[in-house]
Amino acid sequence: MDTNPIAKRLAKRFLTALKKTFPEAGCSLRFQSPLELLVATILSAQCTDIQVNKVTPKLFATYRSAKDFANASLEELEHAIRTTGFYHNKAKNIQGACRQIVEQFHGHVPDSMDSLTSLPGVGRKTANVVLGNGFGRNDGVVVDTHVFRLAHRMGLAVGTTPEKVEQELMAIFPQNDWAFLSHALILHGRVHCNARKPNCPQCPFKQFCPKINTVFV
């Protein structure tokens, strides 16, 4: 795809500033294996990472493998994740994904985009989270609602879908920084650039953010 030269220059400035402002940006979900990360990411849909982190210690102590999730009582699994919301669908997707992992991948979470997105309840966003944070692979950019909003507000993308925004971000940021980028943008959205009332006067990027300045190239 054609790269917007202005967005490319902005990306370089933002990336430098993001690394300086949020050098330790990383995944806020707590996990010790790709399987735990996969389950936690499924639970995080329409739920805060804080709430997910409250649920997963007991959950992962009860279900220690994909086989455990696959063979679990669906009713008991639903009860264990109830406070994350939409627990019927989440439990069904977790169990379905784990059954497929057992049957097709020898009990191990696969480490490719195509294999991950073949699992029930796993789209490209979830797969990117698992690949980037569970396997250290930058195959794409996680575009959740926060990243989608900030990419537009910061002049980095114009796409109307998460998939289009992801492609735009991949075109202007170095691949090695794709996982960091998502985490840092989410932190920036929480600390400075929230949806309803962005704190532009205190923003560390105000000198070149197009929301504030019309001259930034």
Query: Where exactly are the structural domains of the chain?
Result: 5-25+141-202, 34-108
Quick one: pLDDT band at residue 216, thresholds 50, 70, 90?
Answer: very low
The secondary structure of residue 110, as a DSSP letter, is: -
Domains 5-25+141-202 and 34-108 share a fold: no
Average pLDDT, the chain: 94
What pLDDT does 25 receive?
A: 95
pLDDT of 148 reads: 96
Architecture of domain 5-25+141-202: Orthogonal Bundle (1.10)
pLDDT recorded at residue 217: 46
pLDDT of 71 > 80? The answer is: yes
Residues 6 or more apart whose CB falls under 8 angstroms from that of 204 comprise 17, 20, 21, 192
Of 1.10.150.120, 3.40.50.300, 3.40.50.2300, 1.10.340.30, the CATH number of 34-108 is 1.10.340.30
DSSP SS3 for 195? coil
Q: Got the DSSP string for 35-69?
A: HHHHHHHHHTTTS-HHHHHHHHHHHHHH--SHHHH
Higher pLDDT, 215 or 45: 45
58 is catalytic: no
Asked if 181 and 169 touch (Cβ cutoff 8 Å), the reply is yes
Q: Percent of the chain scored above 70 by pLDDT?
A: 96
Of 134, 103, 120, 173, the residue nearest 38 (C-alpha): 134
In the chain, the amino acid numbered 30 is: R
Question: Of the listed 68, 111, 144, 177, which one is catalytic?
Answer: 144
- Whether 144 sits among the annotated catalytic residues: the reply is yes
The two three-digit tokens of residue 42, written as one number: 């499924």
pLDDT at 206: 87
Query: How large is the average pLDDT for residues 78-88?
Result: 98
Alpha-carbon torsion, ordered 27, 28, 31, 35, to 10 deg:
-60
Which residues have CB under 8 Å from 7's CB, separation 6+? Answer: 155, 156, 157, 168, 172
Q: What is the pLDDT of residue 164?
A: 96
pLDDT (tens digit, 9 = 90+) per residue, 117-171?
A: 999 999 999 999 999 999 999 999 999 998 999 999 999 999 999 999 999 999 9
pLDDT score recorded for residue 214:
53
